Amino acid sequence: MSLYRVLFLLMSFAGFSLQAEKVDKPNIIYILADDLGYGDLGCYGQKVIQTPRLDKMAADGLKFTQHYSGSTVCGPSRSTLLMGQHTGNIFLRGNGMLQVRPNPADMTFPSALQKIGYSTAMIGKSGLACNSDDGALPNSKGFDEFFGFTSHTQAHWYFPTYLWDNGKKVEYPSNTLHDGDDYSSDRVMDRALSYIESKKDKPFFLHLAFQIPHASLRAKEEWKAKYRPILKEKLLPEKKHPHYSYEREPKTTFAAMISYMDDNVGKVLDKLKELDIDKKTLVIFASDNGAMQEGGHKRDSFDSNGELRGGKRDLYEGGVRTPCIAYWPGTIEPGRVTDHLSAFWDISPTVRELTGAAEQADTDGISMVPTLLGKGNQKKHKNLYWEFFEQGGKRAIRQGKWKLIYFQTNTNKTPKCELYDLSKDPGEEKDISSSYPEVISELTKEMNRQHTFAEYERFRFATERPADYKFPTKRKKKKK
């Protein structure tokens, strides 16, 4: 018997193999801010609000300049992320009482990660429904662990009376929505850091979904104190808001919330380094839609949308273009900037390729792995498409330099449209629709090709709907 044969038998008995050693599957952390504007971070042009950890993350990683959220409001935007499809194809296309359907419908990409041995968690604000009382819903849709909000209305408040922990209510009896002992973002961060610690020795996917800086303005005093000498804001008169908390220092508080969020991102990165798993962990940061004007915050206070037009609930660039930073020490070359056209529905194919999970047959996305790694042939989108049911309905498409937006698409068979050349007019200031009818015709055909019929879309136009018909995405009023 040859020496090689003897060695082979000995290694086989010892449980070894002559096969090449497999590369460890990377950990992936996807951090999502809530209503953060394109211009709210220092690395994207912010001059007043301080975001040193995210700025350093961008300097040490990859910054995207043309990355887009899934929608212009949270529910459908977060759904496109998890489903790998745009709003022309997903089920949850608007805010309201809708939630994703039971399996096998509406399968999420974390479900595919579970099948190849990943631990999966969603901590913070669920993207599987806008308002749901089913605290176990995330556990049935691909997440081994869930802690946080299943109702986006509840997530308007930073001192909730309860949060969900894998289907069980964790109550906070001292909280009164606007004040209390348990600041929800602290509890979310505690759980996220604990989760990372517990999974340091096996591959994991963590979707850390912040509620900051959305809705009610509430910040810890230590962070507000940092901005008082800078902003010197005059206190507003005492007042009470019927839903959100009322903040007498709205600018100070908003800035404090952003810096606190930035510090939390830093805590995640520090934890990875402390556990010596930073070099095998990809971290991506983005925002679910454009800058808000709720809870007392005004976009103009800090130029939250930067050079872009509009914000939340708009399909202008300010409503759907998001900051996006990817960080992976030793794998992503530091200091890179990319104008690759990408969107939330690209995350599913990207994560699947990186982890070796099964490909998604019905995705609208394209893997961004070549862009992340800086090598290989990056496939490109022909276009990106959005549709939105509120405010009479809106649809938009971005194709090359062109951006076409339709308005009142649910109420008018011949809706008004606007066309912009983003290469010359990134702020969408000059509508040139009257000069390019052939472009509008081509893009409109492409928009119609992208749209599929939603299960609840029984009537598309007002003239075809019964007078008492109401879109199911509108929240029902509670009976007194």
Please tell me the predicted confidence (pLDDT) of residue 464. 46
- Residue 456 confidence class, pLDDT cut points 50, 70, 90: low
State the chain's mean pLDDT as an integer. 91
pLDDT tens digits, 10-45: 444 333 333 323 337 999 999 999 999 999 999 999
Mean pLDDT in residue range 426-447: 97
Write down the CATH number for the domain with range 27-373: 3.40.720.10
Cα 131 to Cα 76, 134, 319, 473: the distances in Å are 12, 9, 22, 11
Rounded CA separation 117/5 (Å): 33
* Of 353, 291, 350, residue with least CA distance to 326: 350
Residues 6 or more apart from 144 whose CB is under 8 A from it?
114, 119, 120, 121
pLDDT reading at 328 higher than 60: yes
- Residue 93 confidence class, pLDDT cut points 50, 70, 90: confident
Minimum mean pLDDT among 11-15, 39-43, 162-166, 384-388: which range? 11-15
pLDDT tens digits, 365-378: 999 999 999 999 99
Q: Are 320 and 290 in contact (CB under 8 A)?
A: yes
pLDDT reading at 75 higher than 60: yes
Please tell me the predicted confidence (pLDDT) of residue 99. 87
- Burial class (CB within 10 angstroms; exposed 0-12, middle 13-18, buried 19+) of 177: middle
- The sheet with strand 402-407 has its strands ordered as 384-388, 394-399, 402-407, 417-421
pLDDT reading at 275 higher than 70: yes
Q: Are 192 and 184 in contact (CB under 8 A)?
A: no
pLDDT tens digits, 191-244: 999 999 999 999 999 999 999 999 899 999 999 999 999 999 999 999 988 899
pLDDT reading at 467 higher than 90: no
Please tell me the predicted confidence (pLDDT) of residue 469. 42
pLDDT reading at 51 higher than 90: yes
pLDDT reading at 460 higher than 60: no
* pLDDT, greater one: 13 or 331: 331
Rounded CA separation 426/213 (Å): 25
Please tell me the predicted confidence (pLDDT) of residue 192. 98
Please tell me the predicted confidence (pLDDT) of residue 94. 82
| Residues in the chain, total | 480
Please tell me the predicted confidence (pLDDT) of residue 221. 96
Six token digits for residue 5: 């044969």
Which long-range contacts (C-beta less than 8 Å, at least 24 apart) are formed by 196-199? 196/29, 196/268, 196/271, 196/272, 196/275, 197/271, 197/275, 199/27, 199/119
Q: Is the peptide bond before 370 cis (omega within 30 degrees of 0)?
A: no
Taking the domains of the chain in order of start, what are their residue ranges?
Answer: 27-373, 384-464
Rounded CA separation 41/402 (Å): 26
- Residue 457 confidence class, pLDDT cut points 50, 70, 90: low
Question: What is the per-residue burial (b if ≥16 Cβ within 10 Å, else e) of 36-54?
Answer: bbbbbbbbbebeebbbebb
Q: Are 54 and 325 in contact (CB under 8 A)?
A: yes
Q: Can you state the angle between helices 250-274 and 221-231, rounded to 10 degrees? A: 130
Whole-number percent of the chain with pLDDT over 90: 83
**CATH class of the region 384-464:** alpha beta
pLDDT reading at 454 higher than 90: no
Please tell me the predicted confidence (pLDDT) of residue 455. 62
